[in-house]
Structure 1
Amino acid sequence: MPIHVCLAGATGWAGSALARAIATTDDIVLTAAVARRAAGQRLGAVLGEPRLDCLVYATAAEALAQPCDVFFEYTKPDMAKANVLAALDRGCHVVIGTSGLSDDDYAEIATAAQAAGRGVLAVGNFALTAVLLQKFAEVAARYIAQWEIIDYARDTKPDAPSGTARELAARLGRIRAAELTVPLEATKGVPATRGARLNGMQVHSVRLPGYTIALEVVFGMPDQRLTIRHDAGASAEPYVAGALLAIRRVSGLVGLHRGLDSVLELE
């Protein structure tokens, strides 16, 4: 039996690439799509892919009237939580690709997922190089006590830090808090220039033209430094394979899981 998917954000930069990839699979079928501006049209007509025959709806609530196994959230932070909770209420498993959700948002989603007995897989970045950055950084944090995260994105990205940076901070924070030689309260000048304290470490967000997505974590020890960095190009293709994998694996989960490595074997 194919996996029936409702894709929210189906005409966006990443969502449209995922939709086109789903059209080429034998085991995943799009049963509904969400894209306000294209509502009422067939997704295939909007994307120029005739194999995508599902209808586009203006809201997730409308799209979820069509039965599906997995709801894929690829919209905006101000809509994402409500969409995810609605999908869980309908009995769907959920994959979250939208960035900008807070730790409080995820706590609420975790409670709802557990109550529904459904899996939610929240992935800040579906690219394999980003997944490996997270794993390598976790190893480094066990041996090096001081580090800071730098999050880069295009100038039009409204949320900061990115979902990728939030996910990394959450993971490293479970290992330990990053030490500061000079406490923030002892900073001379403008303490805010030291970045935001998130999950026990400093996080800096840069928003400039010329970037798509990049993430850097810098570890420091006396007379030595380790930098681990992920850079993404302008194409959405690096995220497609990971997104398809998430769709195929999320039904084996219960509750909230963060990071694509939740369904990968990287040990």
Structure 2
Amino acid sequence: MIKVVVAGALGRMGQESCKAVLKAEGMELVGAVDTREIGSPLGIHLGIADLDVTISDNLEKTFQELKPDVVIDFTRPGVVQGNIELALTYGVRPVVGTTGMSSTEIQHFQEIAAGKQTGALIVPNFAIGALLMIKFAAEAAKYFPHVEIIELHHDQKMDAPSGTAIKTAEAITAVRGNMAQGMPSELEKIEGSRGGNYEGMRIHSVRLPGFVAHQEVILGGIGQTLTIRHDSISRESFMPGLLLAVRKVMSLQHLVYGLENLLFE
């Protein structure tokens, strides 16, 4: 039985994660950590009357008392870094869905995890369809190297561009390298209207109510375009990948960045 704690348990992704773990075979939800509703029964917030888990605001104490195998983190940038460090210190395997970390920070945690021989996963997107989108986009970029990425998320998302967009851009860059696109002399009448520039390709971030998580990769060629799009229309779409990550991390002794590195190995 895999003992799981969820950090950020009362957020939208946190609540969905708690429900998924409770339903999953071979897993036990032993703890929930958040900065809100401290001391209240988790079941009240999930609509589950007989759930014996109480909200705590102390992740270290939770690790000490409950000794979980895995912590699922859906907190926020600026908090997640300390949570990962704490988890690895206590030998708890972090499965992180919080985005916004730099490549330097990820490398730092890779070194710590390797030194402690403790499995860890940092996953920009748990949706299997999104991982396939990244894989297909990288393959298509071999033949259509002119690329722009448009990612669309709800208006409460704190970081831009999304971790998925960055992961997509990294995968495409590995295929085509840094490449200039468009008119060298183009003029932005409104600064930023062409989006962010990542190794020559443009990334555009949309933040509006009504969206969950969506992305399209537009590839252009002579006389044709190819669009690869993925839509998460509910947060349930992330749960099969999340549960897969919890199971996979148990057999790791290092940190893996991106679930596709385990899914398509």
User: Structure 1-normalised TM-score?
Assistant: 0.90
Quick one: percent identity of the two aligned structures?
37
1:4 has 2:3 as partner: yes
- For 2:208, the equivalent position in structure 1 comes to 208
Kept in 1: contact 2:212–2:235 (CA 8 A): no
1:263 aligns with 2:262: yes
Give the conservation status (yes or no) of the 8 Å contact 1:147–1:178: no
Q: Which one-letter code corresponds to 1:31 in the other structure? A: V
The 3-state SS of whatever aligns with 1:193 is coil
* Residues 144-193 of structure 1, C-alpha deviations (whole Å, 9 max, x = no match): 22111111112232210112212222222333335224476x44345633
Mean alpha-carbon deviation: is it higher for 70-79 or for 42-51? 42-51
Of stretches 54-63 and 120-129 in structure 1, the one that deviates more from structure 2 is 54-63
Task: Check whether the contact 1:93–1:251 (CA below 8 A) recurs between aligned residues.
Answer: yes
- Is this contact kept in 1: 2:188–2:194, CA < 8 A? no
Structure 1 equivalent of residue 56 of structure 2: 57
- 1:224 is matched with 224
Contact 2:219 2:225 in 1 (8 A): yes
> In the alignment, is residue 132 of structure 1 matched against residue 132 of structure 2?
yes
Asked whether the 8 Å contact 1:146–1:178 carries over to 2, the reply is no
**Amino acid of the structure 1 residue aligned with 2:133:** L
Q: TM-score, normalised by structure 2?
A: 0.90
Structure-2 change in CA distance of 1:17 and 1:61 (3 Å): same
Distance 1:238 1:110 in 2: 27
Give the C-alpha shift of residue 79 in structure 1: 0.8
User: Which one-letter code corresponds to 1:10 in the other structure?
Assistant: A
> Structure 1: how far apart are the matches of 2:175 and 2:120?
23
Contact 1:32 1:54 survives alignment (8 Å): yes
Q: Secondary structure at the match of 1:227?
A: strand
Match of residue 248 from structure 1: 247
Assess, with a 3 A threshold, how the Cα gap between structure 1 residues 171 and 181 changes in structure 2: closer, same or farther.
closer
After superposition, the Cα gap between the structure-2 partners of 1:51 and 1:99, relative to the gap in structure 1 and judged at 3 Å, is farther
Q: 1:85 is matched by which residue type in structure 2?
A: E
Q: How many residues align?
A: 263
Task: Choose 107-116 or 48-57, whichever is displaced more.
Answer: 48-57
Using the TM superposition, give the Cα deviation of residue 236 of structure 1 relative to its aligned residue in structure 2, in angstroms: 1.5
| Partners of 1:53 and 1:178 in 2: CA distance | 53
Q: Does 1:17 align with 2:26?
A: no
Provide the C-alpha distance between the structure 2 equivalents of 1:143 and 1:78, rounded to a whole number of angstroms.
Answer: 39
Q: Aligned-pair distance for 1:50?
A: 4.0
Using the TM superposition, give the Cα deviation of residue 211 of structure 1 relative to its aligned residue in structure 2, in angstroms: 1.7
> Aligned partners of 2:50, 2:35: CA distance in 1, in Å?
21
Counterpart-to-counterpart distance in 2, 1:104 and 1:51: 43
Q: Say which SS state the counterpart of residue 79 (structure 2) adopts.
A: helix
Following superposition, the deviation at residue 88 of structure 1 comes to 0.8
Output aligned runs, 1:162-241, within 5 Å: 162-177=162-177, 179-182=179-182, 186-189=185-188, 192-198=192-198, 201-233=201-233, 235-241=234-240
Q: Structure 1 residue 237: deviation in Å?
A: 1.1
Residues 256 and 141 of structure 1: CA distance in aligned 2, closer, same or farther (over 3 Å): farther
1:75-118 Cα offsets, whole Å, 9 max, x none, are 11121111111101111111111122222221222122112211
Q: 2:4 & 2:158 partners in 1: Cα distance?
A: 28
Secondary structure in 2 aligned to 1:33? strand
- What SS class does the counterpart of residue 194 from structure 1 fall into? coil
Two-structure CA RMSD over aligned residues (Å): 2.0
Deviation sequence 1:9-67 (CA, Å, 0-9, x none): 11211211121122123311112111111222232233222453223211322322221
* 1:68 equivalent in structure 2: 68
